[in-house]
Amino acid sequence: MSEGNGVDMAIKIQVPTPLREHTQGKTTVETSGTTVQAALNDLCEKFPTLSAKIFDKGEVKPFLNIYLNDEDIRYLDSLATAVKDGDELSIIPAVAGG
Amino acid sequence: MTPDPSLERYSRQMRFPGVGTEGQLRLRNSRVTLCGCGALGTVLANALVRAGVGFLRIIDRDFIETHNLQRQVLFDEADVTANLPKAEAATRKLRLINSEVTIEPVVADIDRTNIIDLVKDADLILDGTDNFEVRYLINDAAVKLGKPWVYGGCIGSHGQTMTILPGDTPCLRCVIPAGPAPGEGATCETAGVLGPTVNIVASYQATEAIKILTGHKEAINRDLLYLDVWENVFKKFSIAKLRERGNCVCCQQGKFEWLEGQHGSQTTSLCGRNAVQVSHRVAGKLDFDGIARQLGTLGQVSFNRFMLKFQVEEYEFTVFPDGRAIIKGTNDADKARTLYAKYIGH
């Protein structure tokens, strides 16, 4: 499974409802990578149509927040935040309805 | 202390140590502005009026339709038949529930010209809206005037809420710098919504309101609360430190871009055409493919690279890639804005 440096990191990504049409309905996807960016890239490689939904010119779209376990990555190291085996990333879109 | 007979109806609430007689008196002296009286708003208004706030201003631009009754708890079939505005119907019902509360219905579209007047005398602002345009206006006004407010949002079976105390917690723009672009986020019209989801989120918001109004700011929720009632998910995401990053345009730099009209929509009635143009500033181009998928089950949709046509109810939308839409079938700017928020979303 692992590529490159041989360190295999299993990072679970929680996919929110509106993006699941791009993940064949999967609510959780196992990815690998040593940073948040790498894990998200791996997710987008597995499901290529996701990339345009999550990123805009390389940045996460402003209405999507990425949480590493329960911490907002913006006050960690943003996309460069290191991740380790067993970590969970959640993509949480801002919800407009009401 | 001798119990105050005028507070008897609140005895069970006062027996709860967090409220007590003092908290109840504080509630009675408090003023709340509720922005939006749909699904979240009716639950919020019901909870606050029963709890005994002193004054509640209810602002809503919409009328009641049959498909609202599934989740908008203050309305009934007679209100639909009577063609009542939501703010008015809610007020009539709430006065029967608790005649001690002063309720002021306002049938209006909240925009940058009226929001300050609508919130300046309130101790707390509650979010019962269905779009980010009004939420960013609330956020600007609340931060500018130093008033607490509570955000809530719901779609399908999931929802979220956060509490904003200006100067203490992160503001909405710290956490969500910009809302979804038109067509980018789901709406209750396109993705549906379960009544219980809304009840739960609004009940959290109402509890936050009671904490703030009874003087218990130490007890508020300082996280982004996220839940999905269908998938049995309940999470708290830590957001407190986002304020310390120190670069928020609104609460750190003091720029109120929504109040000043640098963001948001504009409407123009197209005379003699029974149509209104709604303009939204978007950074890129709209994703017609995605919008067409969302709207496909609701009405007739077709598009090429220049425009997307969508027909629903008695309205015809012509949407352009820059976010502009011409909505045919109404001359009413508020109605057009409502339709845009419902079907295209922003």
**Which residues of chain B lie closer than 8 angstroms to A16, CB-CB?**
158
**Which residues of chain B lie closer than 8 angstroms to A67, CB-CB?**
237
Q: Do B36 and A75 touch (CB under 8 A)?
A: no
Closest to B339 (Cα-Cα) out of B285, B278, B271, B268: B278
Task: Quote the tokens at residue B341.
Answer: 């928020």
Q: What percent of chain B has pLDDT over 70?
A: 99
Closest to B169 (Cα-Cα) out of B220, B115, B236: B220
Cα of A45 to nearest chain B Cα, Å: 20
Could you tell me the strand order of the sheet in which B300-303 lies? B265-270, B275-280, B325-328, B315-319, B308-312, B300-303
Cα of B181 to nearest chain A Cα, Å: 9
CA distances B236 to A68, B161, B203, B241, B330, Å, are 12, 10, 16, 14, 43
Task: Quote the tokens at residue B303.
Answer: 């598009």
Q: Do A95 and B185 touch (CB under 8 A)?
A: yes
Residues 6+ apart with CB under 8 A from B342: B130, B187, B188, B189
Q: Do B346 and A96 touch (CB under 8 A)?
A: yes
Three-state SS across chain B? CCCCHHHHHHHHHHHCCCCHHHHHHHHHCCEEEEECCCHHHHHHHHHHHHHCCCEEEEEECCECCHHHCCCCCCCCHHHHHCCCEHHHHHHHHHHHHCCCCEEEEEECCCCCCCHHHHHCCCCEEEECCCCHHHHHHHHHHHHHHCCCEEEEEEEECEEEEEEECCCCCCCHHHHCCCCCCCCCCCCHHHHCECHHHHHHHHHHHHHHHHHHHCCCHHHCCCEEEEEECCCCEEEEEECHHHHHHCCCCCCCCCCCCCCCCCCCEEEEEECCCCEEEEEECCCCCCCHHHHHHHHCCCCEEEECCCCEEEEECCEEEEECCCCCEEEECCCCHHHHHHHHHHHCCC
> What mean pLDDT value characterizes chain A?
91
Q: Do B185 and A56 touch (CB under 8 A)?
A: no
Residue A3: what pLDDT? 44
Helix (H) or strand (E) holding A39: helix A36-46
Tens of pLDDT, residues B79-99: 999 999 999 999 999 999 999
Nearest residue in A to B133, CA atom: A96
Tens of pLDDT, residues B121-170: 999 999 999 999 999 999 999 999 999 999 999 999 999 999 999 999 99
What is the distance between the alpha carbons of residues B328 and B316, in angstroms, rounded to a whole number?
Answer: 5
Name every residue in A having a CB less than 8 A away from some CB of B: 16-18, 21, 27, 52, 56, 61-63, 65, 67, 70-72, 74-75, 90, 92-98
Please give the average per-residue pLDDT across B278-296, as a whole number: 86
**Which residues of chain A lie closer than 8 angstroms to B287, CB-CB?**
52
Residue A4: what pLDDT? 44
Confidence of residue A1 (pLDDT cuts 50, 70, 90): very low
Which of B224, B231, B291 would you mutate first to test chain A, the one with the most A CBs within 10 A? B224
Q: Do A63 and B178 touch (CB under 8 A)?
A: yes
Cα of A4 to nearest chain B Cα, Å: 32
Cα of A5 to nearest chain B Cα, Å: 32
Residue B279: what pLDDT? 85
Which of B60, B150, B155, B265 would you mutate first to test chain A, the one with the most A CBs within 10 A? B155
Phi, psi for B196 (deg, rounded to 5): -60, -35
Tell me if B39 sits within 8 A of B198, measured CB to CB. Answer: yes
Tell me if B276 sits within 8 A of B326, measured CB to CB. Answer: yes
Residue A83: what pLDDT? 97
State CA B287 to chain mean position distance: 25
Tens of pLDDT, residues B67-79: 999 999 999 999 9
Q: Do B152 and A98 touch (CB under 8 A)?
A: yes
Please give the average per-residue pLDDT across B327-336, as a whole number: 90
Confidence of residue B307 (pLDDT cuts 50, 70, 90): confident
Nearest residue in A to B343, CA atom: A97
Q: DSSP 3-state assignment of A14? A: strand
Q: Is residue B42 predicted with pLDDT exceeding 50?
A: yes
Task: Quote the tokens at residue B225.
Answer: 């609360």
Tell me if A85 sits within 8 A of A39, measured CB to CB. Answer: no
Q: Is residue B1 predicted with pLDDT exceeding 70?
A: no
Q: Is residue A33 predicted with pLDDT exceeding 70?
A: yes
**Which residues of chain B lie closer than 8 angstroms to A72, CB-CB?**
175, 237-239, 241-242
Q: Do A90 and B186 touch (CB under 8 A)?
A: no
Cα of A43 to nearest chain B Cα, Å: 20
**Which residues of chain B lie closer than 8 angstroms to A17, CB-CB?**
155-158, 186, 191, 228
Q: Do B177 and A62 touch (CB under 8 A)?
A: yes
Tell me if A34 sits within 8 A of A53, measured CB to CB. Answer: no
Residue B189: what pLDDT? 82
Q: Which of B152, B178, B241 sits opposite A75 (nearest CB)?
A: B241
Cα of A68 to nearest chain B Cα, Å: 9
Cα of A3 to nearest chain B Cα, Å: 31
